Amino acid sequence: MVLESFLHLTELLDSDSGIDFLEELTINQAVLGKLGKYVGVRSEILQDYPQRKLESIIPQHWGEMTFGEHLDIQGGSQPPKNTFKESLQEGYVRLYQIRDYGPNPMPVYVPSELVSKTTVKGDILIARYGASGKIFWAEEGAYNVALAKFIYPKDVVVPQFAYYLLKSSLFKKLVTSTTRVAVDGFNKNDLKNLYFPLPPMDEQLTIVSEIDDILNVICELRSERERVVQLSKQMRVSALNEVVASGSPLELQMSWERIQNNWDAIVDTQSSIKDLRALILNLAVKGRLTSRMTKYNSAAKELASVEKAEVRELFNGTDSESDVYPKGWAVASFPNIGQWVAGSGFPTDEQGRTDKEILFCKVSDMNLPANSRHLVEANNTIDSATAKKLRATILKEGTVVFPKIGGAIATNKRRLIVKPTIVDNNCMGITPCSVIDSEWLFILLSSIDFVKYQSGTSIPSISQRTLDQIEFGVPPLNEQKMIVEKVSQLMKICDELENRILEKDNIAENFAKSIVAASA
């Protein structure tokens, strides 16, 4: 039995992808007759199902089925939406859609005379669009065009075995192998080269029983994995909340040490790294990474005292009087700390791009890794003369830019400009004043959840006027630089942790793939 040969099963079970591969492996091996020994003579009924494509990988006495000759699919009906009812009425039948086989069904009912394709409980449905290739046990009713009923010879195929054939890679790889199928769904013509093994019915029943037994164990493993992930999340939330709530430098230091001593239990997924990054930014902009923990030497204290006076003077004496920010910080808004700059248009291909002085970047050029800070990846350049001719706004070094429109708002795409740049009008930026460190400004902007401030449904956007209403704490310049240094150190730890998690996930996935390949 293949599963008995797993020498490193823990690698498979250490990630969701590994457990998924284990389930797929079980089904693949079972339907090909490789979970047990099946030796026999081909029965008379299987003589009509000769082997053609699978003879080298299935038992000799098995048969083989193919679409068009033995198998088929039957598409559903699509009555007009104005005939839909939300409750069952006389002369109506329920119309099943893909969503109705998920966790949030939304039942609708249509006139019986408008549907010609129906199912009974126990039929098998295949998703043709959207969730292409997903398999469902049907309920009694009609089904729409996004679903197709699987037609197979029930005199030689057990329904549960037919279901597992469709769940195997034999079918899954075909319906996900091409871009057209993934986008437009599949049709009968896509299935013409698909072949399925056909064991005797008594062996089908044995195979189904073997699969069920193993999948029951895998289900328990998945539940245990989910329990561990949930427990880890609870530990992470509790640990991070403890850090945020720390009231003294000693408490904060002890909280951080507890997290560091339990990295593997608290930080074990990509989402946990995201939470940790967000926590670091949140602590940084509230002064909890430096003001409560750092002991200044005498020179630094003197400089800090001068800078605090400058900050208070710059922001009209609005010194922080709350517990949110440390004493000596100012409470300000964006008009106090910099100048907003807007994006502009780009040159055409015919206009000059000779001396490569100035980058010009579209919002898509911000598609860098989540922890990237600098906008330096643009391939396009423009000369200063053309920029002047176009009256394009050239953003200075130190400006922080971000998308102001579309779904990119939600993805935390803040970028720091390190050389003169033009950005498109889907972006905006802010250039810091003399007492604001540009790297600290980047941290501040990265800590803000822009989704809270966006408006519009079809195309979300964020306005300068809305952003001007946000208030935040501003430390002296010296402390800004200390915050930048501290955040940089902690983000490097996050990078290392993230790489460790990615490596761990890749090991589990590659191990699973190698098992699948070796046993095929």
Tens of pLDDT, residues 64-104: 999 888 999 999 999 999 999 999 999 999 999 988 998 88
Statement: residue 300 has pLDDT above 50: no
- For the domain covering 334-470, report its CATH number: 3.90.220.20
- Average pLDDT for 483-500: 81
Strands 427-432 and 338-342: antiparallel
Residues of the chain within CATH 3.90.220.20 domain(s) are: 42-218, 334-470
| Higher per-residue confidence, 360 vs 74 | 74
Distance CA 64, CA 82 (A): 45
Statement: residue 182 has pLDDT above 70: no
Sorted by sequence, the CB contacts under 8 Å of residue 471 that are 6+ apart come out as: 331, 332, 333
Predicted pLDDT at 348: 55
- Average pLDDT for 438-454: 87
Q: What is the pLDDT of the chain when averaged over all its residues?
A: 77
Of how many residues is the chain composed? 520
| Higher per-residue confidence, 351 vs 255 | 255
Cβ–Cβ < 8 Å for 443, 379? no
The predicted-structure confidence for 468-485, as pLDDT tens digits, reads as follows 999 898 988 889 999 998
In the structure, what pLDDT confidence band is assigned to residue 142 with cuts at 50, 70 and 90?
A: very high
Predicted pLDDT at 374: 57
Predicted pLDDT at 183: 43
The amino acid at residue 389 is: K
Centroid of chain to Cα 33? 36
Predicted pLDDT at 364: 67
- Average pLDDT for 30-47: 85
Q: What percent of the chain has pLDDT over 70?
A: 68
Predicted pLDDT at 238: 73
For domain 42-218, give the CATH superfamily: DNA methylase specificity domains (3.90.220.20)
| Higher per-residue confidence, 368 vs 114 | 114
Statement: residue 502 has pLDDT above 90: no
| Angle, helix 16-31 to helix 159-167, in steps of 10 degrees | 130
Cβ–Cβ < 8 Å for 152, 68? no
Q: Which residue has the tokens 């590659």?
A: 510
Cα angle 210-213-215, degrees, rounded to a multiple of 5 = 105
- Average pLDDT for 13-31: 79
In the structure, what pLDDT confidence band is assigned to residue 249 with cuts at 50, 70 and 90?
A: low
Q: Is the pTM of this model over 0.75?
A: no
Predicted pLDDT at 317: 43
Predicted pLDDT at 353: 45
Lowest mean pLDDT, pick from 29-38, 286-295, 329-338, 397-406: 286-295
In the structure, what pLDDT confidence band is assigned to residue 407 with cuts at 50, 70 and 90?
A: low
Statement: residue 223 has pLDDT above 50: yes
Cβ–Cβ < 8 Å for 341, 428? yes
| Higher per-residue confidence, 471 vs 378 | 471
| Structure tokens given for 425 | 């009008």
| Higher per-residue confidence, 123 vs 309 | 123
- Average pLDDT for 204-230: 86
Statement: residue 444 has pLDDT above 80: yes
| Higher per-residue confidence, 23 vs 239 | 23
| Structure tokens given for 462 | 């964020």
In the structure, what pLDDT confidence band is assigned to residue 9 with cuts at 50, 70 and 90?
A: low
In the structure, what pLDDT confidence band is assigned to residue 121 with cuts at 50, 70 and 90?
A: very high
Lowest mean pLDDT, pick from 83-92, 211-220, 364-373, 480-489: 364-373
Distance CA 142, CA 109 (A): 9
Statement: residue 209 has pLDDT above 90: yes
Among 210-224, 239-253, 393-407, the range of highest mean pLDDT: 210-224
| Higher per-residue confidence, 24 vs 275 | 24
Statement: residue 464 has pLDDT above 60: yes
Distance CA 255, CA 436 (A): 30
| Higher per-residue confidence, 373 vs 472 | 472
Statement: residue 427 has pLDDT above 90: no
Sorted by sequence, the CB contacts under 8 Å of residue 388 that are 6+ apart come out as: none
| Higher per-residue confidence, 303 vs 141 | 141
In the structure, what pLDDT confidence band is assigned to residue 283 with cuts at 50, 70 and 90?
A: confident
